[in-house]
Amino acid sequence: MSIPRSLALVAALSLSASCGSARATCDATSCPTGCCSTSGRCELGNTTQACGSSGQACTSCATAQQCVAGACSNDTSTGGGTATGGGTASTGGGTTSTGGGSATGGGTATTWYKDVLPITQVSCTGCHRAGGVGPFALETYAQAMPMAAAMKSAVVARRMPPWMPDPSCGGPFVGDRTLTQAQIDVISQWADQGAPEGNAADAPMPPGPVGQLPRVDATLTMAEAYTPSATRSDDYRCFLVDPALTGSRSVIGYDIAPGVAAEVHHVIIYIVDRNAARTRDMNEAGPGWTCFGDSGLTSPGPIGAWAPGTGAVIYPAGTGIQLTASQGLAMQIHYNTNSTPRVPDQTSVRLMYSPQGTAVTAAYLLPLVANGFAIPPNATDYTYSESFDNPTQVLPIKIYGLMPHMHTLGKSIRISGPANTCLVNIPRWDFHWQQQYFRPQPFTLPGNGAVTMTCTWDNPTSRMIRWGEATTDEMCFAYLYATR
Ligand code: HEC
């Protein structure tokens, strides 16, 4: 199978780009240090509103109680959760563990303000901030100090910051979150020394917003809230959101904010004709319209996509996806309610346009659909590969970004160019961490060149698993962000 013949033909595509999930979002593995709220979030576990540990359900303590070590206690004399580690312990707390202190040369303490904050404000607080996707904030000393041991364990095991690509393939990608060994050592030593605060005067300059768009030109929200289908656990619904442009603009960045993250399993925003979308919407009862596979309307392609783990996306400098005044956007949302109650959702997207009058090279999100697989029951390491011709077949195209996608049984996904040049490789697929990976320099695919995508799965079920839209089906899919 090949990707479309010409970039202009991307319009004619009707392909499936969906996803699903079955894994519970909060349990002892995903929330080892806190407790799980009713909405499935991992909470700190040491506040009176959300008390608990080891991924158990959070408890609200009675008014007179405190939360001490993950349990509600009537004894308020200990000072609750804040008692441990004291304020400025320079030794004491860590005592035995790894000998981290010796690495700093004895006397000098590794402190929050001097050593740790310069790392966390670049590498952690993009997610671990008020309103961020992380389950707790790590913006202040008071927030980070009780988490010191958990922070050490997460960075030493390289669970945090999350970063999925194999470093030896295609990268380093823009925004690589991998910490250096020296940074990991600093966080370890700080935790081992009892998480000393240090002197606020040592604090580094704040780096500006991390993980957010630098500028928001439009915020488009579903006109009405929508409650997912009461009968289907996988509900695909499209909603018109209208940028109401008066002239052509290029989308150079976006940030999709799912209304109810627990039930929104993906969002793809397709460019559509505004009037056609209005008609489609009016012909079906309720907000929006049913749309499996794509927007159900003719579309020159998407402007962007969101799956769990996707943050704000800024397209490579000088490129963007063009929108004209007659175009609207159809937000295709896959709701999955297998393991979560149905509640009204109102998802929105923030857009950043190129400044008026600046020239921007038109880019496209080209889909790669490798759908010919059939994973036998109980298979392990079942592998499937497909190659895709350059869509122009003549002209070289420049591939700037890649967004691989599988469902929850996926184990690995790799995309390569001619002569097996590795473009991106996700050796341990995790449905919860999906995003576009951008190269600092584009990869030029020659006119006669092809890309190859290879996926591997385990199938623990007793049925054959094929390509499909449902959460329990699988995919071997990617978007390539490319220009001529
Ligand atoms: C891209 C977003 C993101 C970044 C960046 C990030 N985290 Fe997280 N973190 C999360 C999310 C979401 C969870 C909860 C789900 C999970 O564990 O995957 C989490 C969980 C955690 C946990 C508890 C679970 C565990 O694995 O131990 C710790 C501790 C943690 N993060 C520390 C950090 C530290 C320290 C940094 C920076 C060095 C960091 N995180 C960077 C999103 C992020």
Which of 149, 170, 202 is a domain's end point? 202
Domain match, 195 and 218 both: no
Q: How many CB atoms lie within 10 A of CB 419?
A: 6
Q: What is the DSSP letter of 113?
A: I
Q: What is the pLDDT of residue 25?
A: 64
Taking alpha carbons only, the member of 15, 19, 25 closest to residue 473 is: 19
216 in any annotated domain: yes
**H or E element in which residue 151 lies:** helix 148-156
Distance in Å, CA 184 to ligand 1 centroid: 14
Same domain, 399 and 346: yes
Determine the atom of ligand 1 nearest the C-alpha atom of 126. Answer: 5
Q: Is residue 404 part of a domain?
A: yes
Q: Tokens in use for 306? A: 């969101």
Retrieve residue 192's tokens: 């081992």
Based on the fold, state whether residues 197 and 293 are members of the same structural domain.
no
Helices 148-156, 181-192: inter-axial angle, 10-degree rounding? 150
- Looking at the structure, do residues 106 and 240 belong to the same domain, yes or no? no
**Residue 135 Cβ contacting ligand 1 at under 6 Å:** yes
Residue 362 bridge partners (DSSP): 320
Strand, helix or coil for residue 460: coil
Answer yes or no: do 187 and 321 share one domain.
no
CB atoms under 10 Å from CB of 475, counted, come to 26
Q: Which of 404, 475, 431 is nearest to 173 (CA)?
A: 404
Tokens found for residue 195: 């998480």
Query: Containing domain of residue 113, as a range?
Result: 35-202
- How close is the Cα of 147 to the center of ligand 1, in Å? 11
| In-domain check, residue 166 | yes
Q: How many CA atoms lie within 13 A of 480 on its CB side?
A: 33
Q: Is 42 in the pocket of ligand 1 (CB under 6 A)?
A: yes
Number of domains in the chain: 2
Sequence letter at residue 419: A
Boundary (domain end) residue, out of 147, 180, 202: 202
Residue 140 falls inside a structural domain: yes
* Sign of the alpha-carbon dihedral angle for 139, 142, 146, 152: positive
45 in the same domain as 16? no
Does the beta carbon of 44 lie inside 6 Å of ligand 1? Answer: no
Q: How far apart are CA 41 and CA 262, in angstroms?
A: 9
Q: Would the CB of 127 count as within 6 Å of ligand 1? A: yes
246 and 166 together in one domain: no
Q: Among residues 177, 202, 227, which one ends one of the domains?
A: 202
Within a domain: residue 2? no
**Which pLDDT does position 322 carry in this prediction?**
95
Q: What is the pLDDT of residue 85?
A: 29
Q: Give the CATH number of the domain where residue 474 resides.
A: 2.60.120.230
Q: Is residue 60 part of a domain?
A: yes
| 159 and 86 within one domain | yes
What are residue 144's phi and psi, to 5 degrees? Answer: -80, -35
Q: What is the rounded distance in angstroms from the CA atom of residue 74 to the CA atom of residue 448?
A: 73
Same-domain status, 233 and 176: no
Q: Is 32 in the pocket of ligand 1 (CB under 6 A)?
A: yes
Q: Whose CA is nearest to atom 16 of ligand 1?
A: 30
Q: Does residue 30 form part of some domain?
A: no
Same domain, 185 and 258: no
From ligand 1's centre to the CA of 422, what distance in Å?
28
Is the CB of residue 51 less than 8 Å from the CB of residue 45?
A: yes
How far apart CA 204 and CA 267 sit, in angstroms, is: 37
Residue 161 Cα, ligand 1 centroid: separation in angstroms?
A: 6
Residue 29 forms part of a structural domain: no
Q: Domain check: are 184 and 216 in the same one?
A: no
Intervals of the chain under pLDDT 70: 1-25, 29-33, 39, 42, 75-107
Q: Which of 384, 381, 351 is nearest to 368 (CA)?
A: 384
Looking at the structure, do residues 104 and 232 belong to the same domain, yes or no?
no
